[in-house]
Amino acid sequence: MKNLKYFKNISFLITLLILMGSCKEEKGWNLLEDDQAKPGLVQNTSVTNGFGQAIIHYNLPENQNVLYVKATYVMDNGETRVVKSSQYKNEILIDGFPDTQKHVVQLYAVSKAEVASDPVDVTVEPKTPIFDLVFEQMKVSPTFGGVRITSINKEKGNIVIVPLVDSLNNGEYLPLDNYYSQDSLIQYNIRGLKSKEMKFAFYVRDRWLNKSDTLYTSLVPLEENLFDRQLFSALHLPGDAQYMYGTTSEMMWDGNMNPSRWPALYTVESAGAPQSLTFSIGKEAKLSRIVVFPRREDGFYDKGNLRDFEVWASNNPNLDGSWDSWTKLTTCTVRKPSGTPPGTNTNADEVYGIAGWSFDLPEDAPKYKYLRIRNLRNWRGSYFMQIAQVQVWGVY
């Protein structure tokens, strides 16, 4: 009797499953992904025009099967671009426009079965693209060892400044290093050029390769030389940092450019206030820049490698270690190219560390003989320092 009861229960479950399977073809059991019905139209569209872009606002159709909204439009190069926005949003960003002309964008509601609705035409009229705004504000001038480019990027758009040079004066412009920026204030120096008149060209582009007009000019870079490290000497003043592991100031200019070198200058880790170190460059000179090469241990952006620091200068420093006889030339902040937090580094971060962190010094400053580096914060958030090498550039 007990076995018969179990048999009846099993028979009932099998029958129920068969009935469910037979109902699957009914409309009420259709999967949304199998629904080939065309969605309704995107509704109530409006436009907010931006710089080289526009945001289209809309309402989704009442059809519950909509997965996303798709926008298609033709780029300046003839390529059709497709942008998508999920069902949880009621707006879509359309960008990459090179002008302020009217452009027609077609909006589609797309179902979970990838069936698109009929298009809705929306006209956008972007404002002046950011690469043109940056170009309008761009100025170039000679500087030590090269040229300086300045501009304003008020909207903080992603732009690329492309410099070229006709160094042989034969009409052939060759590329120099591009400058990528999203900063509101742009100041970029191109280095390593000879002090002779050369023809330059500059333009600004965006990531879609839309570009501005081209600025042509002739400039004479100012003379700049790497100072002779053989003339450098340490000057340890009262209050300056104490060194650990038998390291010395002289290690900063011994010519060993191995970023993983050891030993290298390393100060006491227990310092509870900003630390400083002092040295002479041998004789008074017009200073153009200082380059600090960090030591790679767990990475360039870690431990005692400098992050925020000041550069001071003097010709007659007080031997009591006070700062009255010193002039602050600049405050420096090391910024990772990737912008990622410490512990996460990209190839660009690595390249920047190997190349050294270069900081310009005021061009209108007088000649100086002594330099003093005052560390305000390292990458651990404390005050101790580790430095692989230091270079100083300018003209004696």
pLDDT for residue 295 is more than 80: yes
pLDDT at 23: 45
Cβ neighbours, 10 Å, residue 89: 13
Contact 199, 218 (CB under 8 A): yes
Give the single-character DSSP code of 129.
-
Q: SS3 for 250?
A: helix
Point out the least confidently predicted range of 22-36, 327-341, 348-362: 22-36
pLDDT digits (tens, 9 = 90+) for 161-204: 999 999 888 999 999 999 998 889 999 999 999 999 999 999 99
Confidence of residue 15 (pLDDT cuts 50, 70, 90): low
- For 354-366, what is the mean pLDDT? 94
Alpha-carbon span 260 to 294, nearest angstrom: 9
Instruction: Give the rounded percent of residues in the chain with a pLDDT score beyond 70.
Output: 91
| Higher per-residue pLDDT: 4 or 53 | 53
**Smallest Cα–Cα separation from 63: which of 122, 116, 120?**
116
Alpha-carbon span 381 to 361, nearest angstrom: 25
pLDDT at 26: 40
Rg of the chain on CA atoms, in Å = 32
pLDDT at 4: 44
Confidence of residue 64 (pLDDT cuts 50, 70, 90): confident
pLDDT at 343: 84
pLDDT for residue 92 is more than 80: yes
- For 109-117, what is the mean pLDDT? 94
Q: SS3 for 208?
A: coil
Q: Residue 352 phi/psi, 5° resolution?
A: -65, -40
Which alpha helices (DSSP H) does 230-382 contain, by range? Answer: 347-355
Long-range contacts of 309-312 (CB under 8 A, 24+ apart): 309/373, 309/374, 309/375, 309/376, 309/377, 310/373, 310/374, 310/376, 311/359, 311/361, 311/371, 311/372, 311/373, 311/374, 312/371, 312/372, 312/373, 312/374
Alpha-carbon span 32 to 61, nearest angstrom: 16
- For 59-69, what is the mean pLDDT? 90
> Which domains, from first to last, does the chain contain?
32-124 (2.60.40.10), 130-222 (2.60.40.10), 226-395 (2.60.120.260)
**Three-point CA angle 243, 350, 389, nearest 5°:** 30
Confidence of residue 322 (pLDDT cuts 50, 70, 90): very high
Cβ neighbours, 10 Å, residue 271: 17
Assigned token pair, 295: 């030591």
Name 150's bridge partners. Answer: 139, 187
C-alpha distances (whole Å) from 347 to each of 316, 338, 354, 376 are 43, 9, 11, 27
pLDDT at 10: 52
- For 219-233, what is the mean pLDDT? 96
